[in-house]
């Protein structure tokens, strides 16, 4: 992320597995948060805007359903967008709790924007986060970790669908991040 700031990057994208273990130690989570705080927060203005529905883009088990740089309580200079990897699964602390991952903790702290969550039933709809910088438009698609057999079966059956940006909204560059 230091290089991203030095190069004046508009954002960073993580394809999953921020942690090596599926239940990282509290020490690992704190060290990760310390490192991210150093680069994510700061005075440099963010030069991209989100034009899609953030409540759908970032919906999850927490109440933070918008990008961290859209939060007036935070001073974000380098937005990080991340999808969940196989080492980042949501787990329950006890039977009646919501499944929460270490990435949910990072999102709640305002350190990253977790997107690309999939509700796997009989089909998957991959919705893009729509970003705009000046006249450049980016459709950032993400697919969180899914078992290979499950994903392959859905693809074979034509049950993986990609939502498109609104018709008539101009040219969009598309990026797909898959773990």
Known catalytic residues are: 87
Beta bridge pairs of residue 142:
177
Residue labelled with tokens 């006890």: 94
Report phi then psi at 15, rounded to 5: -95, 20
Cα gap 178→69, rounded to integer Å: 23
The two three-digit tokens of residue 67, written as one number: 């990008």
For 22-172, strand residue ranges (E) read: 49-50, 80-82, 113-114, 124-126, 129-133, 136-143, 160-162
Cα gap 123→25, rounded to integer Å: 34
């Amino acid at each position: 992320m230091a290089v991203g700031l030095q190069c004046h990057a508009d954002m960073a994208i993580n394809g999953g597995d921020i942690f090596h273990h599926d239940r990282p130690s509290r020490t690992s989570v704190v060290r990760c948060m310390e490192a991210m705080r150093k680069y994510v927060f700061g005075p440099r203005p963010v030069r991209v805007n989100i034009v899609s529905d953030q409540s759908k883009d970032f919906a999850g088990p927490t109440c933070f359903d918008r990008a961290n740089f859209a939060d007036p309580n935070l001073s974000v200079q380098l937005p990080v967008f991340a999808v969940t990897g196989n080492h980042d699964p949501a787990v329950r602390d006890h039977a009646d709790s919501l499944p929460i991952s270490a990435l949910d903790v990072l999102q709640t702290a305002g350190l990253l924007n977790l997107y690309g969550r999939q509700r796997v039933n009989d089909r998957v709809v991959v919705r893009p986060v729509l970003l705009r910088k000046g006249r450049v438009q980016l459709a950032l698609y993400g697919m969180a970790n899914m078992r290979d057999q499950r994903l392959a079966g859905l693809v074979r059956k034509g049950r993986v669908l990609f939502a498109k940006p609104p018709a008539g909204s101009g040219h969009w560059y598309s990026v797909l991040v898959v773990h």
